[in-house]
């Protein structure tokens, strides 16, 4: 990428059709680590995936399906959409196959990273994810750790974040573009947005990266922002609750960041958490 950001819009096929909502191989993003796809399948339709030298995480955004990754067919999915609870997620290491047969309209986010590591496939049900609240005041948000660094993947980390309307998220602004463990590691990051209200929006601000300049992007429902370097932060439009799905991969499976020292002081003012949180539960 020529800049430290890249905004990708949803393809928006008709609601009653199966197809890709987003298609982003890493060659298109011109970066090393991740390819990202979002699929919609209608009842009876089948989504198949084959992995060679890659690992992948499949997050059920909404709907139910029957998944088979060589360990017997299993019905997965519970929430109607991302604001209706925690996800089912399937982690697959390299040299594996999976099929998803939709029972209801089902939307699945798929992220891949290069890998030849021998790992075990694992289904992560909603009861196994960990939810916590972070920040304070109008920088409060809910963090859902789906594949945290403690999970035995090779490269991928997966997190869901819920931000009430009007609140800031990923705040104080922070970066993770330098391999200097344990203080900071070099991670590329995907932000995949969903909004509770169809007219909602968030602003995603990025600045002071390895590439010159800064950008403020308007993210709407189904948009994706790619973060390669620099400080970044998000604010939800007032009245519009915001969800984003983070995939990260890079030089280490540690979420070690550097906060912008000009804004880190805000932490000392946080005494209470937004009472609207948590936005979702099991």
- Look at 3-17, 93-107, 136-150 and tell me which has the smallest mean pLDDT: 3-17
Task: For residues 14-20, give the mean pLDDT.
Answer: 82
Distance, in Å, from the CA atom of 90 to the CA atom of 69, rounded to the nearest integer, reads 9
Do 250 and 187 contact (CB within 8 A), yes or no?
yes
Please check whether residue 194 lies inside any domain of the structure: yes
Count the helices and strands in the chain (H runs, E runs).
1, 22
Q: What is the pLDDT, as a whole number, of residue 11?
A: 82
Written as six digits, the tokens of 233 are 């932060």
- Look at 27-41, 170-184, 208-222, 233-247 and tell me which has the smallest mean pLDDT: 208-222
Q: What is the pLDDT, as a whole number, of residue 138?
A: 97
Q: What is the pLDDT, as a whole number, of residue 10?
A: 86
Place of tokens 């196994």: 128
Asked if residue 103 has pLDDT above 80, the reply is yes
Task: For residues 172-180, give the mean pLDDT.
Answer: 95
* pTM for this model (two decimals): 0.95
| SS3 label, residue 270 | coil
pLDDT band at 1 (very low <50, low <70, confident <90, very high): very low
Please check whether residue 282 lies inside any domain of the structure: no
Do 38 and 110 contact (CB within 8 A), yes or no?
yes
Q: What is the pLDDT, as a whole number, of residue 213?
A: 67
Tell me phi and psi for residue 117, to 5 degrees.
-75, 140
Total domain count, the chain: 1
Range of the domain at 179: 5-269
Task: For residues 85-96, give the mean pLDDT.
Answer: 98
Q: Going by DSSP bridges, is the β-strand pair 231-236/258-259 parallel, antiparallel, or unpaired?
A: unpaired
Distance, in Å, from the CA atom of 73 to the CA atom of 52, rounded to the nearest integer, reads 21
Asked if residue 5 has pLDDT above 80, the reply is no
Q: What is the pLDDT, as a whole number, of residue 2?
A: 42
Asked if residue 261 has pLDDT above 50, the reply is yes
Do 204 and 230 contact (CB within 8 A), yes or no?
no
Place of tokens 């088979």: 68
Distance, in Å, from the CA atom of 53 to the CA atom of 123, rounded to the nearest integer, reads 20
Asked if residue 34 has pLDDT above 70, the reply is yes
Written as six digits, the tokens of 149 are 């660094």
Q: What is the pLDDT, as a whole number, of residue 4?
A: 42
Please check whether residue 253 lies inside any domain of the structure: yes
Please check whether residue 275 lies inside any domain of the structure: no
Q: What is the pLDDT, as a whole number, of residue 209?
A: 58
Q: What is the pLDDT, as a whole number, of residue 210?
A: 53
How far CA 248 is from CA of 101, 115, 218, 254, in Å, comes to: 27, 14, 21, 10
Task: For residues 206-220, give the mean pLDDT.
Answer: 80
CATH number of the domain encompassing residue 259? 2.60.120.10
Do 246 and 144 contact (CB within 8 A), yes or no?
no
Task: For residues 216-243, give the mean pLDDT.
Answer: 96
Please check whether residue 236 lies inside any domain of the structure: yes
Express each pLDDT in 45-81 by its tens digit: 999 999 999 999 999 999 999 999 999 999 999 999 9
Q: What is the pLDDT, as a whole number, of residue 17?
A: 83
Task: For residues 165-185, give the mean pLDDT.
Answer: 96
How far CA 81 is from CA of 84, 104, 129, 144, in Å, comes to: 5, 12, 17, 15
């Amino acid at each position: 990428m020529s800049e430290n950001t890249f905004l990708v819009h949803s393809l928006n096929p008709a609601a009653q059709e199966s197809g890709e909502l987003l298609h982003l191989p890493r060659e298109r993003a011109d970066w090393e680590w991740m390819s990202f796809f979002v699929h919609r399948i209608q009842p009876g339709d089948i989504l198949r995936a084959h992995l060679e030298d890659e690992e992948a995480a499949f997050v059920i955004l909404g709907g139910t399906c029957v998944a088979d990754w060589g360990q017997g067919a299993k019905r997965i999915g519970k929430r109607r959409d991302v604001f209706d609870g925690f996800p089912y997620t399937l982690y697959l290491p390299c040299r594996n196959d999976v099929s998803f047969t939709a029972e209801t309209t089902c939307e699945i986010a798929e992220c891949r990273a290069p890998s030849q590591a021998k790992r075990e496939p694992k289904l992560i049900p909603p009861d196994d994810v960990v939810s916590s609240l972070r920040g304070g005041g109008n920088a409060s948000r809910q963090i859902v750790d789906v594949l945290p660094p403690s999970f035995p993947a090779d490269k991928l980390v997966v997190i869901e974040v819920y931000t009430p309307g009007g609140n800031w998220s990923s705040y104080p602004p922070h970066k993770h573009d330098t391999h200097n463990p344990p203080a900071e590691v070099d991670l590329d990051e995907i932000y995949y947005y969903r909004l509770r209200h169809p007219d909602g929006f968030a602003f995603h601000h990025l600045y002071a990266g390895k590439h010159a300049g800064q950008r403020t992007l308007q993210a709407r429902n189904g948009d994706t922002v790619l973060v390669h370097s620099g400080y970044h932060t998000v604010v939800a439009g007032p009245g519009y609750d915001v969800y984003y799905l983070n995939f990260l991969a890079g030089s280490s499976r540690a979420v070690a960041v550097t906060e912008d020292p000009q804004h880190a002081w805000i932490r000392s003012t946080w005494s209470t958490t937004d009472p609207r949180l948590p936005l979702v539960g099991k």
